[in-house]
Every structure is written in C-alpha cells, then in structure tokens.
C-alpha cells in the first residue's frame, strides 16, 4: 500500500514537471527571435502586424543570410501577418480587409512586398505565389545606425517601415475610398 502511495506521488511530481517544461517550450517570448507587434488605429482603420524579431548577432543579413531575389517571411518563425479591418490601398493598389501573410523579396535596388491570402504559415516554406492578393514594389534605403533586432513600425500617417541591419523599406497604407 505504501509503495502505491509513493508511486502515485512520484507520478504527480513527474506530471507537474512535464507540464512546466511544456509550458516553457510554448512561451514564445523565450525564443531567440521573440514575438512583436506593430499596431495603429487611423480613424476607424485598424492595422496589426505580428512578427518574430530576429537579431543581427554580427552576421551579414542582406545578400547573405537573407539572399536577394528570394521570398522572405519578413521575420523569423511563423510568417509575419498583416491584418486590416477595412479595405485599404497599399502604395495606391487596393487590398481587401482581412488577414494576410506579409512576405518580401529583398533586392539591392528594389523590394517586392507581398500580401498572401494564406496567413497561417510557418516561415515561407509553403509559400504559393498563386495565393498572393497583392504585390507592390518599393525602394530600400539605408538606416542611420545598425538596427540589431528587426523592427516594424507604423506611423501616424499609415507608413509602415521595416528595418533590420542597415536597410529599411516602407510602404503606405491608406483607407480605400
């Protein structure tokens, strides 16, 4: 009888330990590239961008870790998502309200910003061009200082800026008329 009580207590301790371990693994904030959000309300338009923010860590990013001409998840881990509650124009082109995966194709002289209808993806591994809702071309610029951790910001005018290492790109979001 005493043996059964000891085994039951041991089983409970192991279950608690296993549960705590699983919770720690699910804590996305503990990832090397932690989750971040950029949100902005412009009158009745809500913009929400959810991404994981990798760090430079002394590496060369553009043209090396992230090759030119290849689809990039615009962050780390899960694909970055771009969600709007109303129809908008992105760089003057219409995009319906909804949630999209936000991909980019970096280039030395231009970047392609992609809004893909399949929002829930891991990285860009299952990216399908035929699911693109919109593509816009933007020009990259240089940052004044090194941006160690990927940063996405939305200004009060609806300008989205993506900055990492020594490069930044941006695009305008306006409520569709």
Q: How confident is the model at residue 3 (pLDDT cuts 50, 70, 90)?
A: low
Report pLDDT for 30.
78
- DSSP string for the chain: -HHHHHHHHHHHHHHHHHHHHHHHHH-GGGSSS-EEEEEEEETTEEEEEEEE--B-TT--TBTTTB-TTS-B-SSSSBPPEEEESS-EEETTEEE-SEEEEEEEE--SS-EEEEEES----BTTTT--GGGEEEEEEE--EEEEEEEEEEEEEE-TTSEEEEEEEEEEEEEEEEE--
Report pLDDT for 21.
45
Report pLDDT for 123.
86
The pTM of the full predicted model, rounded to 2 decimals, is: 0.83
Report pLDDT for 167.
98
């Amino acid at each position: 009888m005493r043996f059964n009580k000891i085994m039951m207590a041991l089983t409970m301790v192991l279950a608690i330990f296993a549960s705590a371990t699983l919770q720690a693994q699910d804590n996305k904030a503990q990832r090397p590239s932690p989750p971040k959000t950029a949100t902005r309300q412009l009158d009745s338009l809500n913009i929400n961008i959810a991404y994981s923010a990798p760090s430079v860590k002394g590496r060369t990013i553009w043209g090396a870790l992230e090759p030119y001409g290849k689809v990039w998840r615009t962050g780390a881990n899960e694909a970055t998502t771009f969600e709007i509650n109303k129809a908008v124009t992105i760089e003057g082109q219409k995009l319906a309200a909804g949630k999209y995966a936000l991909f980019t194709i970096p280039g030395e002289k231009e970047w392609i910003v992609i809004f893909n209808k399949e929002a829930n993806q891991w990285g860009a591994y299952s990216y399908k061009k035929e699911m693109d809702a919109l593509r816009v071309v933007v020009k990259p610029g240089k940052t004044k200082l090194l941006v160690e951790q990927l940063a996405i910001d939305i200004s009060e005018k609806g300008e989205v800026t993506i900055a990492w290492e020594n490069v930044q790109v941006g695009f305008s979001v306006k409520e569709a008329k």
